[in-house]
Amino acid sequence: MSKRLNEDQSPGRNTAAKSEANAAPGSANKIEAVDGDVDMGEFEDPYSDEYESDEEIVEIDDQNDNEEEEEGKDAQDVIKKDEGEQTSEPTIYLPHKSRPLGPDEVLEADPSVYNMLHNVNLPWPCLTLDVLPDHLGDERRNYPASLYVTTATQASKKKDNELLVLKLSQLSKTLVKDENENDDEEEDDEDEFDGEPIMESESIPLHDTTNRIRVSPHGASTGEYFTATSSENGEVLIYDLSSQYKAFDQPGFTIPKNAKKPIHTIRNHGNVEGYGLDWSPLIKTGSLLSGDCSGRVYLTNRTSSNWVTDKTPFTVDNNESIEDIQWSKAEQTVFATAGTDGYIRIWDTRSKKHKPAISVVGSQTDINVISWSEKINYLLASGDDDGKWGIWDLRNFKPGQQPSPVAQYDFHKSAITSISFNPLDESIIAVSSEDNTVTLWDLSVEADDEEIKQQRANSKELEGIPPQLLFVHWQKDVKDVQWHKQIPGALVSTGTDGLNVWKTISV
Residue 350: what pLDDT? 97
Q: Which CATH number is 308's domain given?
A: 2.130.10.10
343 falls within a domain: yes
225 falls within a domain: yes
Beta bridge partners of 360: 344
Residue 48: what pLDDT? 43
Residue 179: what pLDDT? 54
Burial of 68 (0-12, 13-18, 19+ CB in 10 A): exposed
286 falls within a domain: yes
What is the DSSP-derived secondary structure letter of residue 79?
H
Cα distance between residue 323 and residue 343, in whole Å:
11
On the CB side of 96, CA atoms within 13 Å amount to 16
129 falls within a domain: yes
Beta bridge partners of 313: none
Domain count of the fold of the chain: 1
Residue 280: what pLDDT? 98
Q: How far apart are the first and last CA of the chain?
A: 33
Residue 90: what pLDDT? 61
186 falls within a domain: no
Residue 150: what pLDDT? 98
Burial of 94 (0-12, 13-18, 19+ CB in 10 A): middle
336 falls within a domain: yes
302 falls within a domain: yes
Question: Could you read off the pLDDT tens digit of each residue along the chain, which spans 507 residues?
Answer: 443 333 444 444 333 333 343 333 333 333 333 343 433 334 344 434 444 444 444 444 455 555 555 555 565 665 555 555 544 556 677 766 777 777 877 788 889 999 999 999 999 999 999 999 999 999 999 999 999 999 999 999 999 999 999 999 999 999 766 555 555 554 455 556 668 999 999 999 999 999 999 999 999 999 999 999 999 999 999 999 999 999 999 999 999 999 999 999 999 999 999 999 999 999 999 999 999 999 999 999 999 999 999 999 999 999 999 999 999 999 999 999 999 999 999 999 999 999 999 999 999 999 999 999 999 999 999 999 999 999 999 999 998 889 999 999 999 999 999 999 999 999 999 999 999 999 999 999 986 666 666 666 666 666 778 999 999 999 999 999 999 999 999 999 999 989 999 999 999
Q: What is the pTM of this model?
A: 0.79
399 falls within a domain: yes
In which domain, by residue range, is 483 found?
113-179+193-504
